[in-house]
Amino acid sequence: MKNMIKKEYENNIQHQLEGDYFLKKKSLYIILIISVIICIFFDCSNKYFTIFGTTLPPIYWSIQTYKYNKEEFYLWYIYWTIYIIFLFLELLIDNISSIYYCIKLTFLMWCYLPQIQGTKILYLFIFHNIQHNTYNINIENIYDYNSINKEEIHIPIGLNNLGATCFMNAVLQNFYNIKPFRDYLYKEEYLNNPKINNCPITKAFTTVIKNLSNSQLSSYTPYEFKQTIGKYNSEFLSNRPNDSRELIQYLLESLHEELNENLGEEYEEEDNHSDTDWKNKLIFEKDSFNYENKSIISDLFYGIQGTEIKCSNCKKLFYVFEHFSIVSLPMIRINKNEIDIKHMFEDYEKKIEMKDKNKYYCSNCENEYDAYSQTFFYETPEILIIHPARSNKGITYSANIKFNEILNFTPYLSKNSKNKNGIFYNLIGIIYHYGTSGYGGHNIAYCKIKSNQWYKFNDSQVNKIQRFIDIEGEGVILLFYQKSKFDF
């Protein structure tokens, strides 16, 4: 009975908040329409009428904002500073043209109407606050996240677009779908780790994870997350489109830095091994990296690749190792506007000639000689992120990419790799792009949630995909694979 009463109370609260939002937004639209009619009817001949008409909306909405969202009311100071400039111009100048009032009304529309850049003035002030219950209701007190069972956590919900943030929503959905990463943030174990101190991006990401795990919501607005990453990287603060791959790279680096238990440690041992001694060179790379890096990010997303360089003079092989988190594959072997991902891996690992101005300095020969280099994978990450490089030297490729749900990674391992039994990956997520470039168009996410069920996440809209083959490969820009726990 207690649970039934609690459930009814929660539903009433949510309906009340959503009802308030609808009425206030509807009221604002009415006032905006009245304002426009006043300006058009009087043809700006009476400046006091036009001042009155165009001042109604900001007065009304600033009152509502102060009433329901005092925490963010300071943002209105920016608006009113601009608006007072308008008022001074109107009072000081006798004859103001219609063009001026068109500019002013455009400014008003920009500030208020949702789904455009001014969405953070209207849409976020109310809708975002419903999601976070800033109407003096703490969602943490109403919903006990720890009581949500595993089945409920997997219920997919959408993410509301904040204005050209589809690229961010697609990334968040795919990261949420990575269970070990989701569980780590969800349990907030990092808060009890004395080696981890300031982690604002991690905390903002945790808020997203917890809200996406809340089956009481139909969608969630990641406003706090956008503001947080924008605070530390202005590229993601604006309302212009960004690239999903760049955001992923930034998140991996930032989260790793915040959660790195070995931050500040320096590996003092020097690399005195010969470049031809691949075993000790690899051990040194692993030991030095692990000594300075330890986080959920390095555990899940980092692997090791090695470049083998063969001198044409002495015929010796030299080795260079480095850690990686994202694999960018070239799109070279395109046949009839189609390319298989296995051919992309083959092109990634093909021999590259080093000659003319790019000759290799051989430490054994102590001179520059022609050589060739070839890259192989030595150790693979738990989560493999693949980025088809659709843009190269100013050319954009729109070819259809053929890929499977099961990726046999064995052919791409170095002959020196310790994984003798082979490596297989399961496809768990996709980011798909509509448009002609990474910075324009629209991004959506596909995620395999449970029981091999695929879902399509188009911002706030979530739909089941009946068959995996229904996902086209023409707009694929990122693939998320998770290492299989069993052999085939």
Identify residue 304 by its one-letter amino acid code: I
Identify residue 368 by its one-letter amino acid code: E
What Rg value do the Cα atoms of the chain yield, rounded? 28
pLDDT of residue 105: 59
pLDDT of residue 1: 39
Res. 242: pLDDT tops 60: yes
More confident residue, 134 or 433: 433
The C-alpha atoms of residue 133 and residue 69 are separated, in whole angstroms, by 10
pLDDT of residue 163: 85
Confidence at 355, pLDDT banded by 50, 70, 90 = very high
Write the CA distances from 330 to 10, 104, 135, 145, integer angstroms: 51, 49, 51, 43
Q: Beta-strand (E) ranges in 227-331? A: 303-311, 317-324, 326-330
pTM: 0.69
Q: Which range (128-132, 305-309, 333-337) has the least confidence?
A: 128-132
Write the CA distances from 184 to 170, 179, 197, integer angstroms: 20, 8, 16
pLDDT of residue 386: 97
DSSP H helices in 272-356: 278-292, 296-301, 341-348
Res. 40: pLDDT tops 60: no
pLDDT of residue 4: 44
Res. 365: pLDDT tops 50: yes
pLDDT of residue 93: 66
Using left for φ > 0, alpha for ψ between -120 and 50, and beta otherwise, residue 98 falls in alpha
pLDDT digits (tens, 9 = 90+) for 282-308: 999 999 999 999 999 999 999 999 999
Q: What whole-number percentage of the chain has pLDDT above 90?
A: 45
Task: Please compute the mean of the pLDDT values over residues 144-149 and round it to a whole number.
Answer: 39
Helices (H) and strands (E) in the chain, counts: 16, 20
- Superfamily of domain 143-259, CATH level 4: Cysteine proteinases (3.90.70.10)
CA 380 to chain centre: 23
Domain ranges of the chain: 2-126, 143-259
466-474: long-range contacts, CB 8 A cutoff, minimum separation 24:
468/405, 471/430, 471/432, 471/446, 472/400, 472/432, 473/400, 473/401, 473/402, 473/403, 474/398, 474/399, 474/400, 474/401
pLDDT of residue 190: 92
Q: Which range (93-107, 177-191, 299-313) has the least confidence?
A: 93-107
pLDDT digits (tens, 9 = 90+) for 420-469: 678 899 999 999 988 755 456 889 999 998 767 899 999 999 998 877 77
Confidence at 7, pLDDT banded by 50, 70, 90 = very low
Average pLDDT over the chain reads 76
Res. 80: pLDDT tops 70: no
Task: Please compute the mean of the pLDDT values over residues 243-251 and round it to a whole number.
Answer: 94
Q: Which range (235-239, 259-263, 309-313) has the least confidence?
A: 235-239
β partners of residue 392: 395
The C-alpha atoms of residue 353 and residue 359 are separated, in whole angstroms, by 9
Q: Report strand pairing: 371-379 vs 424-434.
A: unpaired
How many residues are recorded in the chain? 488
Give the position of tokens 């690992």: 349
Confidence at 480, pLDDT banded by 50, 70, 90 = very high
State the CB neighbour count (10 A cutoff) for residue 235. Answer: 13
The two tokens of residue 315 are 């015929």
pLDDT digits (tens, 9 = 90+) for 200-227: 999 999 999 999 988 788 899 999 999 9
pLDDT digits (tens, 9 = 90+) for 311-321: 999 999 999 99
β partners of residue 391: 396
Best mean pLDDT range from 301-305, 333-337, 481-485: 301-305
Best mean pLDDT range from 116-125, 265-274, 475-484: 475-484
CA atoms within 13 A on the CB side of 434: 7
pLDDT of residue 269: 83
Q: What whole-number percentage of the chain has pLDDT above 70?
A: 65
The C-alpha atoms of residue 401 and residue 388 are separated, in whole angstroms, by 9
Nearest to 160 by CA among 246, 233, 218, 235: 218
